[in-house]
Copies of this chain bind each other. A is one copy, B any other.
Amino acid sequence: MTSNRGKLAEFRSALAPLGIEITHSEEECDEIQADSLREVVLSCLDQLKGKGMRDIVIDDSGLFVHALNGFPGVYSSYALRTIGMDGILRLLDGKQDRSAHFECCIGASIGGEEFTVSGRCDGTIALAPSGEEGFGFDPIFVPSGYYRTFAEISITEKNGISHRGRAIQAFAAELRGRIDEAPR
């Protein structure tokens, strides 16, 4: 799994009850230019399998702003690095529709079987950045039902409602189903 430490801990705590252990790998793949996270994740799985890796779990996330036709989406990390949160706020200046969603796609190749699951968190782009928690675009994203940004709520609270938290839950459920179905 190629990711940061916080993500790794989140995956671990969700998968430990299933008796599944997860480790971090430095192995990298080229992320392709595609319009959906799922395409990026599937291409990355292919590349890692091509390098001889087995039993792989990877994930990719993005912020999709509806009034910007889904921008920055799959290219969120590039947009953060270049135009930043300020850029997103400028692009939305004066627009009525500030709705957006975060999406996380997890792809796995386990025991020769490949599958993907997704998690989504709907919300609104704030008028200004606020908060110190989290990372990425968290300070400008207010999840539906909240008055605070992702960067203003605790990591535990965020994991319960976030796109990644939901994707990890879906992933654990999928794995549980596959373990139950497996011949003994």
Contacts and interface: CB of A to CB of B under 8 A. Distances in A.
Interface in A16-75: 30-35, 40, 43, 68-75
A69 B91 contact: no
Contacts of A43: 30
A68 B84 CA distance: 9
Nearest to A71: B82
A27 B119 CA distance: 34
Given A71-B78, A71-B82, 18 more contacts: A30-B32, A30-B33, A30-B34, A31-B33, A32-B32, A33-B33, A33-B78, A68-B82, A69-B82, A69-B83, A70-B82, A71-B87, A72-B82, A73-B82, A75-B75, A83-B91, A87-B91, A90-B90
Contact of A31 (B32, B70, B81): B32
A79 B87 CA distance: 13
A122 to B, nearest CB: 19
Interface centre among A40, A69, A71, A81 (most CB of B within 10 A): A71
A93 interface: yes
A7 to B, nearest CB: 19
Closest CB pairs A-B (n = 6): A71-B82, A30-B32, A31-B33, A69-B82, A71-B83, A90-B90
A47 to B, nearest CB: 10
Interface centre among A32, A70, A71, A78 (most CB of B within 10 A): A78
